[in-house]
Structure 1
Amino acid sequence: MSCFYLDLLKIKDPSFMKQLDIKELEALAADIRAFLITSTSKSGGHIGPNLGVVELTIALHYTFNSPKDKFIWDVGHQSYVHKILTGRANQFDTLRKHGGLDGFPKRKESIHDVFETGHSSTSLSAACGMVIARDIKKEDFYVIPIIGDGALTGGMAFEALNHIGDMGKDMIVILNDNDMSIAPNVGALHNVLGKLRTSDKFQHTKTNIDKLIRKIPTAGEKLADTAEKTKDSLKHLLVNGTFFEELGFMYLGPIDGHNLEDILTNLEIAKRARGPVILHVVTKKGKGYQPAELDSRGTWHGTGPYKVETGSFIKSVKTAPSWSSVISNELMRLATADERIVAITPAMPVGSKLEKFAKAFPERFFDVGIAEQHATTMAAGLATQGMKPFLAIYSTFLQRAYDQLVHDVCRQKLNVVIGIDRAGLVGADGETHQGIFDISFLNSIPNMIITMPKDEVEARQLMVTAFDYDAGPFAIRYPRGNGLGVELTESNTLIPIGEWETIIQPIDAVIVTFGPTIQLALKAADQLETEGYRVGVINARFIKPLDETILHQMIKQKIPILIVEESLLKGGFGASVLEFIETNNYTDVAIHRIGLPDEFISHGSVPVILESYGISEAGIELKIKEMLAQSEKLRAKRL
């Protein structure tokens, strides 16, 4: 048996695999697993999903010819094995680091990455487009989307299945069924797949019935032929439905996704079939590494660094609670006193720290699966009946429910509280996950309140305010990671809608900001004070509506105003302030904005990214000095 471990770094493309026998492919699988466990223990990453698709990825590259044949990895966090086999193992020490290897498929990285993913349920639609283009251009290649059972619950996937089945064009869909998305799957489709997963008895029973019938004298063969024609009825009886076949797909499986011979055999059958095929492959998330295999909560879906020997995570010492837990704990406190409060999450109960809420109030907790659109309109429906829904959703996933926010929530002025988790930069997950668009796309919607707390105490106060507010939707943004560690005292303090907080009174200049960048502003102001500059700091905790009283005061002081935001400048908070200035016919206002440019922000550590765009203590100090110097020059000219 060959051993490939030292050669993984030398792989240039998958063509070398064509010469390997089954034992060598199995050895390659073992070595890739060892490599993944070792490398991700240092860098962190999506270890669970990738350990589950080692054999499947090897079989795909062995059977097909990438990049001529197109692999589309739904979500894309399971593409590490694909990256190794396409010549990127030697870059794994840079995985998810600034300027390094992306954790998701990236077209600029490799010709083998034919479509970029990061959000779920998109692969089937993309594959549909590629198949149509192939046939119009009369080209000859296979299109193979690989979609998980969790991603299959997304509405977009159903839309694509409906279209693909109706078109009848050649396509091979791999259903990677590991009984998990990020957290355990929920829903009726999950139950259907569960029945298929355990339907081995169908094949066994059908074979026995066939043998039994053929033993009947004289009429046996004829009856057997009749039985073959009624196989669908038999499936309905024993498997309880032919879901995919009714949609127009040839269904193969379920098969063991860790048995290379089975996968290779069925891929060859799929290649010879005409029309759309679904190959149902059952895999084990975290396969080959016991801590990840035993995970039932989704902890090993994506991790930071860990110790290989024990599976314990390597974390910096932090005493402060996470922002998500601060919000969820306050939600529990409020829900204890108000039975109208319910919590909704689209497949993120662990990340949003709602597990305790689910246990305490099971009848008032709803994990709807990867279905952000449904979650949002469901919240709207609850609100029409006097309930108080809390929709916990990551900023990047809120994008997927924009129409529902506009049409179903904001237009009707319904009282939905939206907890926008992971707002701002999230770091290593990169472009598809940075929470930098929500201010821009929410700002333009009428009836929407947008807030962000500076610390844990203010987070709790905004939660109280949100559930007291009865004039429409109320969004609370909070970042990834831990809070400041401020003491949490019992408080039911309401913050007047639209009221900002003056932390330091401005004299020479003023910094206006919100959320985590408040701390950068305070440090910059302290440093500037040692140099003789008296710079104020305003906590703009209400991003919408603006505090017009404070804005009028600042502008009439005729001092430089610096706006800092960890979000897009285009359409962002600072843009709203500029609109205010124009609307009120103010002229000669010294104002500048520091924020993120009109581009997708790549992966890397949050401090490094912030520093690169001037969103830092030093960047703020430098800009304030530049503005003050410019003001002095203008004042000197007037004199």
Structure 2
Amino acid sequence: MIERPKTPLLDRVNLPSDLKALSDRQLRQLADELRAETISAVSVTGGHLGAGLGVVELTVAIHAVFDTPRDKLIWDVGHQCYPHKILTGRRDRIRTLRQKDGLSGFTKRSESPYDPFGAAHSSTSISAALGFAMARELGAGDVGDAIAVIGDGSMSAGMAYEAMNNAGHLRKRLIVILNDNEMSIAPPVGAMSAYLSRLYAGAPFQELKAAAKGAVSLLPEPLQEGARRAKDMLKHLAVGGTLFEEMGFSYVGPIDGHDLDQLLPVLRTVKARADGPILIHALTKKGKGYAPAEAAADRGHATAQFNVLTGEQKKAPSNAPSYTKVFAQSLIREAELDDRIVAITAAMPDGTGLNLFAERFPRRCFDVGIAEQHGVTFSAGLAAAGMKPFCAMYSTFLQRGYDQVVHDVAIQRLPVRFAIDRAGLVGADGATHAGSFDIAFLANLPDFVIMAAADEAELVHMVATAAAIDDRPSAFRFPRGDGVGVEMPERGAPLEIGRGRILREGGQVALLSLGTRLSEVLIAAEALAQRGIRATVADARFAKPLDRDMILQLARNHEALITIEEGAIGGFGSHVAQLLAEAGLFDRGLRYRSMVLPDTFIDQASPADMYATAGMNAPQIEAKVLEALGIAVVGERRA
């Protein structure tokens, strides 16, 4: 077992107020110790390592200069908040990160007053900080400065610009720190990233640009006119006026985000003199100070538990491929046969498996950046032009493009194919990343085909099915993690639309599953058989259109029918209930139950623990059957 790092200065810090007593030299030592403690903690828990290492000095500087929690520090996304948590009274729990009943991997209002705004998706920080700033102006309680720290990847999303445009119009004191590491989760794409690169590409101009462009409004009045003239001159010599200034922000930078000798004076000056919206441009390096992270392609964005000395990750062996890899390989096989197939992702090529597709078909794969709304409508345009787009997004990220799904895809009946990764409960990322709602929010749209894979072999067939659908939109969902180890087909065969399958014939009760809870349903059926209760087990395959014939047959031939899905209230089970009600089967005494995710947000834990909390593992499915049949159980005996 590797010993924890020695951290004599950090051991003296319980809250950010303790940093006020440290000298600048001691703050530099503190940053080194904080980096070592962050690496040590994440080696135990796994999690988002690289982002936090990239903001260690920035975290120390902000807490040393500002007066949190009165000053509201808002981290965009929250991947980078582990050092912040260590400095804000949570060091004693830092090795419970992302564990059941432990610290969240993101900022969370209920966890600490130092987390004034929760986040786990990107590009919200400037909007939230502006809300705090305006609340301060309107006389809200104990609200000081509002500081948003946002990455260059998050700045590619339209919401960030909407917020900056509004802030520039309101002209109230607001501090935005652009944490520019040239890499969000994947290398950033698009014109904004190129613009930032050009902005600081000319090294000879850096110092003068920082003074002329960045600090004009902060200089004493007699010096401001000269600075303005220098700024105007540089517009012609270098890049040109900054976008941020055009939006009403004073611009400071770029500065070295790992150099406290730069960070501390700039932050102190901004705190003392800023009187409107100001943007501080800090250049950082993701994974800074830990060689294995710096060498990784994603700079150690997300890691499992690892060996601190070598960086080697400790991953449990698996005999089955991941669902994400199965999707990617299946899509490649379909694309080899049809050159109209293209793939779209929103800043998650590795997470969705489309990095593999891009290697095979670089001209047919598009990463649109953190811009799900654009990604959906871009896919719709491709479909309208006769291409066959597969829009691959996590379930929770697709939520951000829902208006476009409705208006730009569904109403126009365009055959966009949505590959929905991270369906169901995802484990350590918790409620913010759980794919709970996609069945419900897509199944209420007319003429949408919605599929859910029960295993990795079914996913192969569903990719082929989506590729074959040319007259309407479709979606197929699959979970995070590895498959169940079934035999895999050589390639997919299109399924008959709206047709399920019966896997096990029984008598008294029918269990109708949608998605990967099927393996738990089959275990429950075996347990029921030990009690003398023969259960029929069916895989719905489609949430829409429903297999009406199969469902009505199950309802008419069994005392009880129970649906099981990895989604929220209002999804598959609700559509089944509507069908049964219209058919009058409730009037004939059918006992119907719908097992869905509970009407609450479930905190992080292992997926198995989360499903236990949700009441959707095999023993709970068995118990639901007994309850529906009116069978009371005492211990292990039927009563």
- Provide Cα deviations, 1:216-264, integer angstroms capped at 9, x if missing partner: xxxxxxxx97795252242343124422111111100100111112001
Mapping 1:211-222, distance limit 5 Å: none
Mapping 1:119-138, distance limit 5 Å: 119-137=121-139
TM-score by length of 2: 0.93
Residues 460, 385 of structure 1: alpha-carbon distance in 2 compared, 3 angstrom cutoff: same
Q: Which runs of 5 or more residues in structure 2 are unaligned?
A: 213-223, 634-639
CA distance in structure 2 between the aligned counterparts of 1:125 and 1:34, rounded to whole angstroms = 33
Partner of 1:187: 190
Residues 67, 492 of structure 1: alpha-carbon distance in 2 compared, 3 angstrom cutoff: closer
Contact 2:179 2:283 in 1 (8 A): yes
Partner of 2:218: none
1:4 deviates by: 7.3
Mapping 1:264-413, distance limit 5 Å: 264-271=264-271, 272-296=273-297, 298=298, 300-413=300-413
| Higher mean C-alpha deviation, range 357-366 or range 142-151 | 357-366
Amino acid aligned to 1:577: V
Runs of 4+ in 1 over 3 A off after TM superposition: 6-12, 203-209, 224-228, 629-632
Partner of 1:454: 454
TM-score by length of 1: 0.93
Mapping 1:411-560, distance limit 5 Å: 411-560=411-560
Mapping 1:102-181, distance limit 5 Å: 102-137=104-139, 141-181=144-184
| Higher mean C-alpha deviation, range 595-604 or range 623-632 | 623-632
| Higher mean C-alpha deviation, range 556-565 or range 31-40 | 556-565
Amino acid aligned to 1:177: D
Contact 1:270 1:279 in 2 (8 A): no
Amino acid aligned to 1:583: E
Residues 227, 605 of structure 1: alpha-carbon distance in 2 compared, 3 angstrom cutoff: closer
1:583 deviates by: 2.0
Partner of 1:91: 93
The CA RMSD over aligned residues, in Å, is 2.1
Amino acid aligned to 1:581: L
CA distance in structure 2 between the aligned counterparts of 1:608 and 1:404, rounded to whole angstroms = 35
Partner of 1:629: 630
Mapping 1:38-57, distance limit 5 Å: 38-57=40-59
SS state of the match for residue 596, structure 1?
coil
Contact 2:376 2:404 in 1 (8 A): yes
CA distance in structure 2 between the aligned counterparts of 1:232 and 1:76, rounded to whole angstroms = 37
Contact 1:178 1:283 in 2 (8 A): yes
Partner of 1:74: 76
CA distance in structure 2 between the aligned counterparts of 1:516 and 1:206, rounded to whole angstroms = 56
Partner of 1:220: none
Residues 172, 557 of structure 1: alpha-carbon distance in 2 compared, 3 angstrom cutoff: same
SS state of the match for residue 567, structure 1?
coil
Partner of 2:65: 63
Amino acid aligned to 2:203: D
CA distance in structure 1 between the aligned counterparts of 2:501 and 2:508, rounded to whole angstroms = 18
SS state of the match for residue 178, structure 2?
strand
Amino acid aligned to 2:166: H
Residues 227, 615 of structure 1: alpha-carbon distance in 2 compared, 3 angstrom cutoff: closer
| Higher mean C-alpha deviation, range 615-624 or range 401-410 | 615-624
- Provide Cα deviations, 1:15-60, integer angstroms capped at 9, x if missing partner: 1110101121111111111111111111001110001111101100
Residues 135, 604 of structure 1: alpha-carbon distance in 2 compared, 3 angstrom cutoff: same
CA distance in structure 2 between the aligned counterparts of 1:481 and 1:206, rounded to whole angstroms = 48
In the alignment, which of 5, 15, 37 is matched to residue 13 of structure 1?
15
SS state of the match for residue 596, structure 2?
strand
Partner of 1:637: none
Contact 1:202 1:239 in 2 (8 A): no
Contact 1:8 1:89 in 2 (8 A): no
Contact 1:236 1:242 in 2 (8 A): no
Contact 1:9 1:87 in 2 (8 A): no
- Provide Cα deviations, 1:275-326, integer angstroms capped at 9, x if missing partner: 1100000111011110111223x26111111111111110111121110110
Residues 488, 11 of structure 1: alpha-carbon distance in 2 compared, 3 angstrom cutoff: same
SS state of the match for residue 73, structure 2?
strand
SS state of the match for residue 612, structure 2?
helix
SS state of the match for residue 629, structure 1?
coil
Partner of 2:204: 201
CA distance in structure 2 between the aligned counterparts of 1:544 and 1:336, rounded to whole angstroms = 28
SS state of the match for residue 318, structure 2?
coil
CA distance in structure 2 between the aligned counterparts of 1:260 and 1:159, rounded to whole angstroms = 31
Amino acid aligned to 1:158: Y
Matching of residue 582 in structure 1 with residue 581 in structure 2: yes
CA distance in structure 2 between the aligned counterparts of 1:525 and 1:208, rounded to whole angstroms = 72
Contact 1:9 1:90 in 2 (8 A): no
CA distance in structure 1 between the aligned counterparts of 2:562 and 2:600, rounded to whole angstroms = 22
1:490 deviates by: 2.2
Aligned length: 614
SS state of the match for residue 630, structure 2?
helix
- Provide Cα deviations, 1:86-124, integer angstroms capped at 9, x if missing partner: 100001121111111111111111111100011100011
- Provide Cα deviations, 1:550-580, integer angstroms capped at 9, x if missing partner: 1111121142112112221x21211111111
Mapping 1:587-606, distance limit 5 Å: 587=587, 588-606=589-607
SS state of the match for residue 85, structure 2?
helix
Residues 47, 138 of structure 1: alpha-carbon distance in 2 compared, 3 angstrom cutoff: closer
SS state of the match for residue 447, structure 1?
coil
- Provide Cα deviations, 1:147-167, integer angstroms capped at 9, x if missing partner: 000000011111111111122
CA distance in structure 2 between the aligned counterparts of 1:544 and 1:225, rounded to whole angstroms = 66
| Higher mean C-alpha deviation, range 235-244 or range 85-94 | 235-244
Partner of 1:614: 615
- Provide Cα deviations, 1:515-569, integer angstroms capped at 9, x if missing partner: 211000111112222332211111011011111101111121142112112221x
SS state of the match for residue 5, structure 1?
coil
| Higher mean C-alpha deviation, range 157-166 or range 401-410 | 157-166
Partner of 1:243: 243
Amino acid aligned to 1:172: I
1:7 deviates by: 6.5
CA distance in structure 1 between the aligned counterparts of 2:210 and 2:365, rounded to whole angstroms = 45
CA distance in structure 1 between the aligned counterparts of 2:147 and 2:258, rounded to whole angstroms = 19
Q: Which runs of 5 or more residues in structure 1 are unaligned?
A: 210-223, 633-639
Partner of 1:221: none
CA distance in structure 2 between the aligned counterparts of 1:478 and 1:299, rounded to whole angstroms = 27
Contact 2:181 2:283 in 1 (8 A): yes
SS state of the match for residue 391, structure 1?
strand
Contact 2:344 2:365 in 1 (8 A): yes
1:444 deviates by: 1.3
CA distance in structure 1 between the aligned counterparts of 2:202 and 2:113, rounded to whole angstroms = 39
CA distance in structure 2 between the aligned counterparts of 1:360 and 1:49, rounded to whole angstroms = 29
Contact 2:512 2:537 in 1 (8 A): yes
1:206 deviates by: 7.3
Contact 1:9 1:88 in 2 (8 A): no
1:493 deviates by: 2.0
CA distance in structure 1 between the aligned counterparts of 2:210 and 2:433, rounded to whole angstroms = 49
